[in-house]
Amino acid sequence: MTKFNQVFWVLVAWLGLSVLPAHAQAPKLVVAIVVDQLRYDYLERFEPHFSTNGFRLLMERGAFMTFGRYNYVPTVTGPGHASYLSGGGPAMHGIMGNSWFDKKTRQDVSCVSDSKVQSVGTTNSSGKASPHRFIGATMADQMRLHFGSKVISASIKDRGSILAAGKKPAGAYWYDADTGRFVTSSYYMQELPSWVKEFNNRELPQSYEGRVWERLLPEDSYHYSDQGIGEGRLQGETNTVFNHIVAVSTNGFDTFYSTPFGDHLTTELGLAALKGEALGQGQHPDLLCLSFSSLDGCGHIFGPYSHEIQDMVVRLDRQLERLFNHLEQTIGMDNVTVVLTSDHGVAPTPEFAKAMGLNGTREGGNFMTDLMARMDQEYGAGKYFLSPSLSYGNIFLNYQTLKEKQLAPTAVMSFIRDYALSTGFYQACYTREQLLDGRVSGWIGQCVLNGFNAERSGDLVLVNKPFAIPGSSKTGTTHGSPYSYDSHVPILFYGKAFKPGRYADEFYITDIAATLASALRIEGPPGSIGKPCVRILATP
Ligand SMILES: [Zn+2]
């Protein structure tokens, strides 16, 4: 190609942005919201306490998929955010956990950490992050390709902000808990825009100092006990019950992270982004991705049957109401499409589950140590594993040792599987070979397969039994399993393109991108494995 031709086509590509196609029904703005750790049952349990214009706006005037499920493991934050707008699980996009053992560098890596980029807005390393480990594209990229959409993303968590927003949003911002400021990285830009600087200068985190978190509703409106068994404590506190007091000056800028003040901060940033970026004011639809992280922090400590969780969800409802009221006043909700879901659910604390007659247990975290001792016994002393810890049930074999000892990998994998299943803690164990061949059956098998990335995953994948919590913590709870408490999440679509109603249809998290793409009449992301729910589309 001649120099002239090159310049010509660059110009055409650039000018093309101003004549991109649109259809009459296209909204001016799409708002994609993730509420971190929002279980499906929260919306049903707490609905009587919701305002008219928060969650209820979506539940009553939108399409509410009441049987939305994650169809892969692990059900954790990084994969959840990478999946819901890309339409594929970890098998496709490669985000197989919040962090994982990286076979190439032989060390644990965070799903968004990026040593090749620089922090912007802070001098520490909290900004050194990008979507470079994400494979493929999300609806954010598809909207940019089709409409030339401006994409802005914000969350307290870096992964909550980065992974949904695709490969090249106009901005992605997350919270630096060392300085109490929102930051980004040189992957996106060289300097924070003035509206983010102004937002940081408001010093909202400092303003939470001394604030009391008390119940919003009368005490008898709360389900279960405030003294729930298995509950942990907020940072710096000695009590597990209301009231809670924020002490930023003593405990640092992340002390309010697990309280409603974290959601307040996120809402304020969302409102500032709408104004600062003039989102929804142009010819073509823009996209705002918001992820509310604080419910997750609270849920890990207090569990799903606590007063704190009920209060967090009801207070978040009021934050959503503020956001939707603002959109109504500025853009008009007729011109807005909203999709809201969660990145995973959460298990009850094992102690609570046990008290309810269920098999709640905590696995002490000794599995790998015990397994290594068994291996030494069976095959003689050796370094049989690349990583000494389980990474979301993944075990990484050291093939060099197997080769030296002339051990057949299949025999070793059978030995490990038999041992794992004999411990009584695990429900299932799959080998790399099985998964590469697609030889799995049932719901759990399908979830493991959709979560298995051929390049990055381990040689065996273990799945714990229901109500069994891996890890060594003594209180609180976690998520990551294929079971309903972790995988069943609310999925809501709002906007002119959707027929309002409650739909208990079979619907997976990987169906969101296909459904949204159909509503916007654009091509879906390349790795999407889902299909649109035609029943909810106003004009399919
Ligand atoms: Zn999460």
Q: pLDDT tens, 432-476? A: 999 999 999 999 999 999 999 999 999 999 999 999 998 778 999
Q: How far is the CA of 11 from the centre of ligand 1 (A)?
A: 42
Q: What is the pLDDT of residue 1?
A: 43
Q: How far is CA 201 from the centre of its chain?
A: 28
Q: How far is the CA of 398 from the centre of ligand 1 (A)?
A: 31
Whether 250 is catalytic: no
pLDDT band, residue 7 (cuts 50/70/90): low
> Averaged over 310-329, what is the pLDDT?
98
DSSP H or E segment with residue 460: strand 460-464
> Averaged over 230-256, what is the pLDDT?
91
How many Å apart are CA 154 and CA 173, to the nearest integer?
5
Q: What is the pLDDT of residue 110?
A: 97
HEC profile of 84-109: HCCCCCHHHHCCCCCEEEECCCCEEE
In this structure, are strands 171-176 and 151-155 parallel, antiparallel, or unpaired? parallel
**DSSP string for 313-354:** HHHHHHHHHHHHHHHHHHT-GGGEEEEEE-S---PPPHHHHH
Q: What is the pLDDT of residue 472?
A: 75
Task: Give percent helix, percent strand, percent coil of the chain, each to the nearest 5.
Answer: 40, 15, 45
pLDDT band, residue 15 (cuts 50/70/90): very low
> Is the predicted pLDDT of residue 283 greater than 90, yes or no?
no
Q: How far is the CA of 388 from the centre of ligand 1 (A)?
A: 25
Tokens of 290: 């918001």
DSSP H or E segment with residue 199: helix 194-201
Q: State whether residue 250 is helix, strand or coil.
A: helix
Angle (CA) 281-287-289 rounded to 5° is 130
> Is the predicted pLDDT of residue 263 greater than 70, yes or no?
yes
pTM for this model (two decimals): 0.95
Q: What is the pLDDT of residue 251?
A: 87
The upper half-sphere exposure of residue 442, i.e. CA atoms within 13 Å in the direction of its Cβ, equals 7
Q: What is the pLDDT of residue 135?
A: 98
Q: How far is the CA of 275 from the centre of ligand 1 (A)?
A: 27
Nearest to residue 133, comparing CAs of 110, 105, 152, 155? 110
* Distances in whole angstroms, Cα of residue 303 to Cα of each of 239, 240, 300, 310: 15, 11, 6, 10
Q: How far is the CA of 519 from the centre of ligand 1 (A)?
A: 27
Query: In terms of residues, how long is the chain?
Result: 540
> Is the predicted pLDDT of residue 87 greater than 70, yes or no?
yes
Contact between 26 and 147 under an 8 Å Cβ cutoff? The reply is: yes
For residue 243, the tally of other CB atoms under 10 A from its CB is 9
Q: How far is the CA of 500 from the centre of ligand 1 (A)?
A: 27
Percentage of the chain lying above the pLDDT 90 cut: 90
Q: What is the pLDDT of residue 9?
A: 46
> Is the predicted pLDDT of residue 397 greater than 50, yes or no?
yes
Percentage of the chain lying above the pLDDT 70 cut: 95
Per-residue pLDDT tens digits for 152-190: 999 999 999 999 999 999 999 999 999 999 999 999 999
Tokens of 335: 């011109």
Nearest to residue 34, comparing CAs of 294, 332, 272? 294
Per-residue exposure over 132-152, b if at least 16 CB sit within 10 Å of its own CB, e if not: ebbbbbbbbbbbbebbbbbbb
> Is the predicted pLDDT of residue 97 greater than 50, yes or no?
yes
pLDDT band, residue 18 (cuts 50/70/90): low
> Is the predicted pLDDT of residue 249 greater than 90, yes or no?
no
Q: How far is the CA of 465 from the centre of ligand 1 (A)?
A: 21
Per-residue pLDDT tens digits for 380-391: 999 999 999 998
> Averaged over 192-203, what is the pLDDT?
98
Nearest to residue 71, comparing CAs of 445, 533, 417, 524? 445
Q: Which residues surround ligand 1, an ion (CB under 5 A)?
A: 36, 77, 296, 343
> Averaged over 119-126, what is the pLDDT?
97
**Chain-wide mean pLDDT for the chain?**
94
Q: Which of 77, 240, 475, 515 is catalytic?
A: 77
